[in-house]
Amino acid sequence: MYANTAPAVPITVPDLQARKRRGEKIVSITAYDAGIATRADEAGVDLVLVGDSLGMVVQGHASTLPVTMDAMVYHTACVARGLRRPLLVADLPFMSYRNEELALANAARLLGEGGAAMVKLEGADWVCAIIHALKRHEVPVCAHLGLTPQAVHRLGGYKVQGRDDETAARLRADARAVQEAGADLLVLECVPAALAAEITRDLAIPTIGIGAGADCDGQVLVVHDLLGITPGKRPRFSKDFLPGTNSVLGAISAYAAAVRSGEFPAAEHSY
């Protein structure tokens, strides 16, 4: 009923840009194992992210900070075995990209051992030099701004970012800076919908929102939130898609359809 039986034509990095130009939403979820990866593939998800959120939803930690490179490589390789079509993106965890040498070596592990096509890292500022170095060495990069969970101690919790004029201006400038540094894609997490819309219009690269309103070029959700299996509290911007469907494949398919129709995220999932 839901299974996508079309021949798998893998999604490439240049395809993402084309998606933005054509106004086609990019549908993304996280995955940490081959089972969810397989269902995501069947549901027609475009981009699968092995997030360092695995520290919280798989390992049960209170933050993403304890996640190691070994854990990221292990889960990325597990997910890669379940995918045929979606683009595979893997997070560089806390402290794994603190200098250029380390970032290149760790990105090489995620692409080489893990099978990812792109790495994601958080922040702008000094991170722009790292993005540039990765790009020069042919590693596609996804930037991540707004609520950057690896900065939880500085931010003082998982809170919406860019609410006042000063932090909004900073975010706009950072978005331009990561694009300029060579980022292929930008995740905007927990920022006011109007600000995310403005940044999305301003940039040539696609934006993927999570708690950032419906006007980003794509959406991403942590799969545990989408299936109602989050340990602890599910973030307000997320939605449990399992009720009303009869399977994991059904829930992921319902999410994909809701993103493509513009039905998700609704106002109640936005700031």
Ligand X SMILES: CC(C)C(=O)C(=O)O
Ligand Y SMILES: Nc1nc(=O)c2c([nH]1)NC[C@@H]1CN(c3ccc(C(=O)N[C@@H](CCC(=O)O)C(=O)O)cc3)CN21
User: Where do contacts with ligand Y occur on this chain (CB under 6 A)?
Assistant: 53, 56-57, 64, 147, 149, 158-160, 190, 210, 222, 224-225, 230, 235-238
Q: Measured from the CB atom, is 157 or 244 closer to ligand Y?
A: 157
Instruction: Choose the contact partner of 30 out of ligand Y, ligand X, Mg ion, none; CB within 5 to 8 A by kind.
Output: ligand X
Q: Measured from the CB atom, is 4 or 248 closer to ligand X?
A: 248
**Interatomic CA distance for residues 160 and 108, integer angstroms:** 32
Instruction: Considering only the stretches 32-40, 44-52, 76-84, 132-140, report the one whose residues sit in contact with ligand X under the rule CB under 6 A.
Output: 44-52
Nearest distance from C-beta of residue 54 to ligand X, angstroms: 7
Q: How many CA atoms lie within 13 A of 99 on its CB side?
A: 2
Find the helix or strand (DSSP H, E) in which 209 lies.
Answer: strand 207-210
Query: Is residue 220 at the binding interface for ligand X, with CB under 6 A as the rule?
Result: yes
Query: Is residue 114 at the binding interface for ligand X, with CB under 6 A as the rule?
Result: no
How many angstroms separate the most distant Cα atoms in the chain? 49
Instruction: Considering only the stretches 36-44, 50-58, 224-232, 260-268, report the one whose residues sit in contact with ligand X under the rule CB under 6 A.
Output: 50-58
Does 268 qualify as catalytic in the annotation? no
Q: Phi and psi (nearest 5°) for 51?
A: -85, 155
**Interatomic CA distance for residues 20 and 108, integer angstroms:** 28
Q: Which of 78, 92, 145, 187 binds ligand X (CB under 6 A)?
A: 187
**Interatomic CA distance for residues 103 and 5, integer angstroms:** 38
Render 52-85 in DSSP notation, one character per residue.
Answer: TTHHHHTS--SSSTT--HHHHHHHHHHHHTT-SS
Q: Measured from the CB atom, is 43 or 50 closer to ligand X?
A: 50
42, 100, 189, 268: the catalytic one is 189
Catalogue the active-site residues: 189
